[in-house]
Structure 1
Amino acid sequence: MRATTSHWRAAYEAWLAPFLARLGRVEQRRWAPVYLQGLLGPGERKSVEPMAARVAPGDVQQLHHFISTSPWRCEPLEEELVRAADRLVGGPEAVLIIDDTALVKQGRHSVGVARQYCGQLGKKANCQALVSLTLARCEVPVCVGLRLFLPRAWAEDAGRRARAGVPEAIPGRPKWRIALDEISRIQVAGARFGAVLADAEYGKVADFRQK
């Protein structure tokens, strides 16, 4: 059992190393593995305090700072994720799958929450909708992109966006446009695939099909 645990930890650290190298600060490189350990480890509650109690007792504030206020850029980590996914499943036989992912949410203050179709429930409901991209081959899927969709009620309400901290530079885009931009992004990062599969709603858009 000890040898198995040691082997798993070595493999985990080797996989994580290129991602940590993309983080600019020593403290970020220290707390990122702790946060991931909390997400991957046992325990149903994945908010900061319960995770910290399991993996970093007494360090709730440091873990909270890493997650909520420590500044870091997403792009280098996303690029590394695409490279890792391509090594695992990329190639001419791989497919890129585009779909919607819904997160059921109540209230009005979480960014992007609106009454819209929720695949999780099979009907319209209050939720966030995300455009997801998954690279897959031989029944092995790896998520390489998630982008939050801003419904019109959010995209066109400057005050609401400002209160929620949505940057002005982030426009409201239809889902098919988000998907096209994401395809370009992962291709630039080096993802290899032979075909693109998408939900029927994307296929209804001529501009999406022609691209």
Structure 2
Amino acid sequence: MGGDLADVRLWTGELERLHGRFVHRFSRSEPRESALAYMQGLVAPLERKNGWTLAEQAGHSAPDRIHRLLNRIDWNADEVLDDVRDYVVEHLGDPDAVLIVDDTGFLKKGVRSAGVQRQYSGTAGRTENCQVGVFLAYAGARGRTLIDRRLYLPTYRRPPSIEHVLHWSYWRRRRQQQARVSHYKRRGHTPPETAQPSGQRPLQY
């Protein structure tokens, strides 16, 4: 979702009320605050939306808190989704509402993301290297919204080897590190890793 500044102001109060519906799913204050900041960033009028831009929108100096929320902190996304569905029924409930199922392809250049292979993509209109997400929407006279999602996992001819899994994990951490360094350089700052004394090793993930 996007919008202009007026839209963001209108959304702010309602986002906080929605956030209050599932804030109990997080055991500590940091992920509670990060969850709200993440939601506010998603509806903000940003040209690009990624960990860095959402962190800057929230006033963070780096995307670490957003990354921890999405990758490391223990919380159950399905339980949060249950809370969101209750919110949707409460505000958009309609006896004549319908459920809409549709899939969307996410084009990929590599092969290391979960579910990636050459398969038909409705987005591209042809067979491409991509992931496929399946989404469930609720639509009625009072409004419409997404209420569920799944990543389509194709059946592979053979399971990936442990070496492939470990290589993917290393590759993902390496890409994250490269993105951090690139971000600092674009803004004319010295990356934290290169600013350390030569006798110390960089931060390991």
**TM > 0.5:** yes
| Letter in structure 1 aligned against 2:45 | P
**Contact kept? 1:135, 1:143, Cα under 8 Å:** yes
Q: 1:33 to 1:76 in 2, by over 3 A?
A: same
User: Percent same amino acid at aligned positions?
Assistant: 30
Q: Indicate the residue corresponding to 1:121 in structure 2.
A: 124
Contact 1:34 1:56 in 2 (8 A): no
Q: Secondary structure at the match of 1:97?
A: strand
Aligned residues: 162
Which of the residues 35, 38, 42 maps onto 1:39?
Answer: 42
> Which 4+ stretches in 1 moved above 4 angstroms?
3-8, 160-165
Residue in structure 2 matched with residue 62 of structure 1 by the alignment: 65
SS of match in other structure, 1:19: helix
Gap regions ≥5 residues in structure 1: 166-211
Shift in Å at residue 7 of structure 1? 6.1
Counterparts in 2 of 1:38 and 1:10: CA distance versus 1, 3 Å: closer
Q: Distance in 1 between matches of 2:131 and 2:58?
A: 29
How far off its partner does 1:120 sit?
Answer: 0.8
Q: TM-score, normalised by structure 2?
A: 0.68
Q: What is the SS of the residue equivalent to 2:156? A: helix
Long gaps (5+) in structure 2: 1-5, 170-205
Q: CA RMSD in A?
A: 2.7
Larger Rg: 2
Q: TM-score, normalised by structure 1?
A: 0.67
Instruction: Give 2:17's aligned amino acid.
Output: A
Q: Give a deviation string over 1:145-187, Cα, whole Å, max 9, x none.
A: 1101111228x4142784468xxxxxxxxxxxxxxxxxxxxxx
Q: Distance in 2 between matches of 1:86 and 1:42?
A: 27
Aligned 8 A contact 1:96 1:134 in 2: yes
Whole-angstrom distance in 1 between the partners of 2:69 and 2:27? 13
CA distance 1:86–1:4, shift in 2 (3 Å)? closer
How is 1:8-87 mapped onto 2 (pairs within 5 angstroms)? Answer: 8-87=11-90
